[in-house]
Amino acid sequence: MTLKECKKEEKSDREFQKKFKFEGSIKILTQMMVDPAVTEKRGRGKNLPLRRGEILDVIQFTNQEQILCRNSQRKYGYVPRAVMLHL
């Protein structure tokens, strides 16, 4: 990883912590897959865009309905638990 990429990731992580009021270090709890049968959705506000079959890193199980996740483009957001499958 180049220095430029490393700084970009650090900036992305700082923005995430500010936007979601997340304190502490970002740790990946597990990985889950978006249900391949779900319709794809654009992300709005704090929600993450959904793509069928995409593997997401789970950052936090926030409540019974949502999970805080990160996608492969290092974008963060909430995803409904109903559309997530365990790997």
Please, are residues 78 and 66 in contact by the beta-carbon 8 Å criterion?
yes
CATH code: domain of residue 53: 2.30.30.40
CA atoms 58, 16, 13, 18: torsion sign: negative
Query: Does residue 3 carry a pLDDT above 90?
Result: no
| Residue 75 structural domain | 4-86
Count of structural domains within the chain: 1
Tokens of 86: 């365990």
Query: Does residue 1 carry a pLDDT above 80?
Result: no
Element (H, E) at 10: helix 3-19
pLDDT digits (tens, 9 = 90+) for 30-79: 999 999 998 888 888 899 999 999 999 999 998 899 999 999 988 899 99
